[in-house]
Structure 1
Amino acid sequence: MKTRDIVIFSGQQFSVPQCIQRIDHQSTHGWQLRYGGTKLFSDHSQDGSGAAAALAAATKELLSRIAKLPAPSRLQRRPSGNKGSSLPVGISGPIVRQRASSRVRDCSFAVSLPRFGGSPRGRSVYIGTENTYTVEKYQAALAKAVELREQAEEAYQRAATKAKRVEAKNLKAALKNS
């Protein structure tokens, strides 16, 4: 898990994992956990002497939440306001094109399939030609495109959660060794 070095107002330096932020504001001093909701772990002191204990408690809670909760997803959940169609996120179309070897145009949906740690893969879902196009074929192709996208999102979420838990395991081991 990524960490960063933070020097607090008292001059103490800490190595802080992702998802934990330092809060130093007037009478509030502590570490805020931001994973599956927020929680403040107070230093319970004005001089910062309790910062190490508060960070340890926040880190312990972070590791606990990572073990129980799915990883936060960075996938877009709603279509952009600029999208001209009412199709779900990751699905475009219908795309009409005419291949060089054909006399009739065909129609398909373009589906973006996200992959954790990699660039998305594009997939085309065939609807029909201008001679065979029907509303039923359109709806069936759209249902298939939505199903492909949902399966890819689920796989992405599983991979993201697995990766986050491996990072947490490595952090836990690093904390034990230090």
Structure 2
Amino acid sequence: MNTRTVTIHTGVRIRVPEHIQRIDTHSTHGWQMRYGQPTLFFSDGQGAGNGPRQALKRAVEALRQRIAELPAPTGLQKEISPNKQNDLPVGISGPILRHRPGRSVPECHFSVNLPRFGAKPLRRSVYIANQNTYSPERYQAALDSAIQMRREAEAQYQLDATEAKRRSAAKL
């Protein structure tokens, strides 16, 4: 898991994992764990057995527990962009009309962007029909197939991202 060095209000530098933020104001000092909902605050407190390092340990333990229970945030786009000029789902473009060499009739297809965790996304085509065989039923069947491909790729991406996040949390 990525870490960074944070300088707290006393000038002490501490290595902190991602998803944990330092809060230092005139009235409060502590660590905020931001992974899932709700966020949790771990105060430095006062007296023996308290302080920034002990509060950070409690925050890291809470972070480990959340990572073990929750799916990892993926950053994949969920909603259709308002600038998209059609109502196709996220990751699907088309229909694209192209004329292949050696063919007398143009054909159309959907282009599907398949995300892969830790790798470049794949782009796949889903054939709809050619100019002579096109029908609303074939369009819908191809669209359903493209949506299913995208959903499966998103589900696999989520599994892979969660597995990677849990592996990295074990190193905390």
Q: Same fold judged by TM-score > 0.5?
A: yes
Question: Over residues 48-74 of structure 1, what are the superposed CA-to-partner deviations in whole Å (9 max), with x where a residue is unaligned?
Answer: x61111101000000011111110121
Does residue 43 in structure 1 map to residue 51 in structure 2?
no
Which residue of the partner structure matches residue 117 of structure 2? 116
In 2, distance between residues paired with 1:98 and 1:3?
A: 51
The CA RMSD over aligned residues, in Å, is: 0.9
Greater percentage in helix: 1
Q: Which amino acid aligns with 1:134?
A: S
Which residue of the partner structure matches residue 12 of structure 1? 12
Which residue of the partner structure matches residue 157 of structure 2? 156
Question: Over residues 24-63 of structure 1, what are the superposed CA-to-partner deviations in whole Å (9 max), with x where a residue is unaligned?
Answer: 1221211010101211111124xxx611111010000000
1:36-75 equivalences in 2 (<5 Å):
36-37=36-37, 38-45=39-46, 50-75=51-76
Does residue 31 in structure 1 map to residue 31 in structure 2?
yes
Runs ≥4 residues deviating over 6 A: none
In 1, distance between residues paired with 2:56 and 2:76?
A: 30
TM-score, L = length of structure 1: 0.92
In 1, distance between residues paired with 2:87 and 2:130?
A: 22
Deviation at 1:146, TM superposition (A): 0.2
Question: Over residues 115-137 of structure 1, what are the superposed CA-to-partner deviations in whole Å (9 max), with x where a residue is unaligned?
Answer: 00011000000000010000000
Which residue of the partner structure matches residue 175 of structure 1? none
Q: Which amino acid aligns with 2:35?
A: Y
Which residue of the partner structure matches residue 142 of structure 2? 141
Question: Over residues 77-103 of structure 1, what are the superposed CA-to-partner deviations in whole Å (9 max), with x where a residue is unaligned?
Answer: 011111000000000000001112111
Deviation at 1:13, TM superposition (A): 1.5
In 1, distance between residues paired with 2:28 and 2:74?
A: 30
Aligned-residue identity in percent: 54
TM-score, L = length of structure 2: 0.95
